[in-house]
Amino acid sequence: MFSDETKQAILGSWRLVVPIAETAADLFYRRLFELRPEYRTLFPDDMSGQKRKLIKMLAFVVKSLDWLDDDWQASVAPEEDLMLVVLAMGRRHSALYRVPDESYAVVGEALVWTLDYGLGDAFTPQVRKAWIELYTLVAQAMRMGGATVERDTDLVSADDAQRQGEIALVSQQAEVGIDEARLGMREDVS
Ligand code: HEM
């Protein structure tokens, strides 16, 4: 799906993001709401849980890049299948959170800005290109998932969608091996 160079650029730069993940999430949402203040109301007042979920999801996506080609043919549980997870996430974004289609470009811009700011010199043109490639693919898949949802229909309840999201994230977390306490993102750690 991605060239070895692209994978290495993403994996290498992600390793640098992990120690500053909490700050990166702060920067990302600050930048997003600077670009589009009107998106703030789409999100809950308390953003701490959201920041944690975003980092976990990005970590899962990055980790999936590391699969060997043969692994793509292996059978995995639905909640660990990158494309199913991303398609379902796209459905939730469309059906539940009602994100406008054009917001994907803005979120991509905020993400690239955050990586640029956070990584400094390590955000080389090659790394930038690799992240844009990855984001474009994920955003496209999410929008495809979203396109399967008819707005204003109640295909899944908010609770069900939330639960599905949590199950997917929890099972991915073990895979990803991110130490939440170290990131200072655990809800029971102040
Ligand atoms: C690659 C792109 C994106 C990723 C990886 C991502 C990731 C996530 C994750 C992991 C969640 C947690 C809940 C769930 O899994 O359903 C979430 C929720 C949410 N996202 Fe995204 N998202 C992306 C794009 C966007 C865009 C373009 C918007 C538009 C502003 C957006 C707005 C939201 C909102 C409003 C919520 C729900 C907050 C809440 O009510 O708790 N996301 N996102």
**What is the average pLDDT value for the chain, to the nearest integer?**
84
- The 3-state secondary structure of the chain reads CCCHHHHHHHHHHHHHHHHHHHHHHHHHHHHHHHHCHHHHHHCCCCCHHHHHHHHHHHHHHHHHHCCCHHHHHCCCCHHHCHHHHHHHHHHHHHHCCCCCCCHHHHHHHHHHHHHHHHHHHHCCHHHHHHHHHHHHHHHHHHHHHHHCCCCCCCCCCHHHHHHHHHHHHHHHHHHHCCCHHHHCCCCCCC
| pLDDT for the residue 20 | 95
Q: Which domain holds residue 160?
A: 4-68+75-178
CATH of the domain at 98: 1.10.490.10
| pLDDT for the residue 66 | 77
Mean pLDDT, residues 11-23: 96
Distance (Å) from CA 93 to ligand 1 centroid:
6
The tens digit of pLDDT for each residue in 137-175 reads 999 999 999 998 875 544 455 556 556 556 655 555 554
The tens digit of pLDDT for each residue in 93-127 reads 999 999 999 999 999 999 999 999 999 999 999 99
Structural domain contains residue 171: yes
Structural domain contains residue 189: no
Percentage, residues of the chain above pLDDT 90: 65
What residues does ligand 1 touch, defined as CB less than 6 Å away? 39, 42-44, 50, 53-54, 57, 89, 92-93, 97, 99, 103-104, 107, 135, 138-139, 142, 165
Number of folded domains in the chain? 1
| pLDDT for the residue 160 | 61
